[in-house]
Copies of this chain bind each other. A is one copy, B any other.
Amino acid sequence: MSVWPVLEDSELSPRAAAVIADIRATRNTDFINNFWRVLANDPALLERTWASLKEVMAPGALDPLVKEMLYVAVSIANGCEYCIRSHTTAARAKGMSEAQLGELLAVVGMASETNRLATGLQVPVDDAFLPKK
């Protein structure tokens, strides 16, 4: 029971339907997950979010699998169950092994631990870590 209904294909406005069609074409699959079906209630929000995501997650200087793993890591830190589950599924589909997931989790946990220690102790940044300019 989401705040806005999960729209079926037949309930989409023409503007939302065009975005959903582009998601299907880009991902080469008929499956549309609930995130997009709920955003579809606000076509402008759907359109802008998809346009950004499509651009950000496209192949570039980083490997697509690395991007997915970064997405999972941030979603854990932000505490978003939906995002953890959907992007973990996506990362597995792109080849993430369970051993890699285990190491990802270990890094996320370790980073959160040392983040708190550095913050709690207010450790001053070393000159070596500061840009020259």
A interface, how many residues as a size bin? 35 or more
Tell me, in angstroms, the Cα distance from A58 to B33 when the chains sit together: 29
Separation in Å of the A19 CB from the closest CB of chain B? 14
Main secondary structure of the interface of A (DSSP, over half): helix
Do B83 and A2 touch (CB < 8 A)?
no
Tell me, in angstroms, the Cα distance from A132 to B72 when the chains sit together: 20
Tell me, in angstroms, the Cα distance from A89 to B72 when the chains sit together: 22
> How many protomers of this protein does the assembly include?
6
Contacts of A99 in B (CB 8 A): 42, 60-61
Do A114 and B62 touch (CB < 8 A)?
no
Contacts of A69 in B (CB 8 A): 66, 70
Do B119 and A84 touch (CB < 8 A)?
yes
The residues in A between 99 and 120 inclusive whose CB is less than 8 angstroms from any CB of B are: 99-120
Do B113 and A42 touch (CB < 8 A)?
no
CB-based nearest B residue for A78: B115
